[in-house]
Amino acid sequence: MSFFITGTDTEVGKTFFSALLIRSLRSAGIDAVGFKPIACGGWEDVDALVDAGGHTETREAVCPAHFSMPASPLTAAWAEETTIDPEKILAAYREISARHEMVIVEGVGGWLVPITADYSVADFAAQLALPVLVVVKNRLGAINHTRLTLESIGRRGLDCVGLVLNHVDAPSDPAMHSNRATFEMLPDVRVICELVRGQSSLHVPSMGLPGVIL
């Protein structure tokens, strides 16, 4: 069983969570690696996934499309006078998934970020048809952003199997202390874990991920 990791926005901790998950799965004996179909800006996120996967795959295998501009894939590709071929990134995913037991696919930015003018991260996720995990920056406004993301995931016939609350803001934000309780009062929403700065591992069994038996 592989998973697609998305976020309620960019810079919410998708790579941090993905790397933690990969390391924890590998520590439990599962051959897990990361895959980031497109990266825009530096190589830091890709390198974090390569490192988490034990350097069993190259940068280019983990990330088949890289652009130097830190922008949406559509804009970054336009700046380099090219376009992204969705079939090529789908083929790259199939190749890496054939070599490993589990692939943790990290999306680009938020759920509806455009890859081409008529194809988004959500469209790519729908083609993969993997269970989705949503990383939420735990702050004021997170509930609205999360519910909009979940609504869009559901419209594409995909299953969101859990939310990951990432504590990246100062603890003085009152919403940080109430968001989880609010989410747990809503139907069909499940918080599977919370992340804190400096965290180095995950307790995967308590997350209850479908198809993952440790």
Three-class secondary structure assignment of 127-152: HHCCCEEEEEECCCCHHHHHHHHHHH
DSSP single-letter state for residue 166: E
In a domain, residue 167? The reply is yes
Range of the structural domain that residue 30 is part of: 3-200
Give, in order, the Cα–Cα distances in Å from 98 to each of 91, 141, 142: 11, 39, 36
The dihedral through the CA atoms of 23, 26, 30, 36 has a sign that is positive
pLDDT at 110: 95
Per-residue confidence at 55, pLDDT binned at 50, 70, 90?
A: very high
In a domain, residue 190? The reply is yes
More confident residue, 106 or 196: 106
Q: Which residues of 121-146 are buried (b: 16+ CB within 10 A; e: fewer)?
A: bbebbbebebbbbbbbbbbeebbebb
| Burial category of 157 from C-beta neighbours within 10 Å (exposed 0-12, middle 13-18, buried 19 and up) | exposed
Per-residue confidence at 170, pLDDT binned at 50, 70, 90?
A: low
Total number of domains in the chain? 1
Sheet bearing 191-195, strands edge to edge: 32-35, 102-106, 3-7, 132-137, 160-166, 191-195
**pLDDT by residue (tens digit) across 87-136?**
999 999 999 999 999 999 999 999 999 999 999 999 999 999 999 999 99
In a domain, residue 152? The reply is yes
**The pLDDT of residue 25 is above 90:** yes
Extract the tokens encoding 174: 């009152």
**The pLDDT of residue 214 is above 80:** no
In a domain, residue 214? The reply is no
Tracing tokens 């804009």 back to the chain, one arrives at 75
In a domain, residue 73? The reply is yes
In a domain, residue 128? The reply is yes
Per-residue confidence at 143, pLDDT binned at 50, 70, 90?
A: very high
Phi-psi region of 180 (alpha: psi -120 to 50; beta: other; left: phi over 0): alpha
Kindly report the pTM of this predicted structure: 0.96
**The pLDDT of residue 188 is above 90:** no
In a domain, residue 123? The reply is yes
Average pLDDT (34-53) is 98
> Which active-site residues does the annotation give?
36
pLDDT at 165: 96
Any idea what the CATH number is for the domain that residue 157 is in?
Answer: 3.40.50.300
Tracing tokens 């830091």 back to the chain, one arrives at 44
Phi, psi of 75 (to 5 degrees): -70, -40
In a domain, residue 136? The reply is yes
Per-residue confidence at 161, pLDDT binned at 50, 70, 90?
A: very high
pLDDT at 155: 96
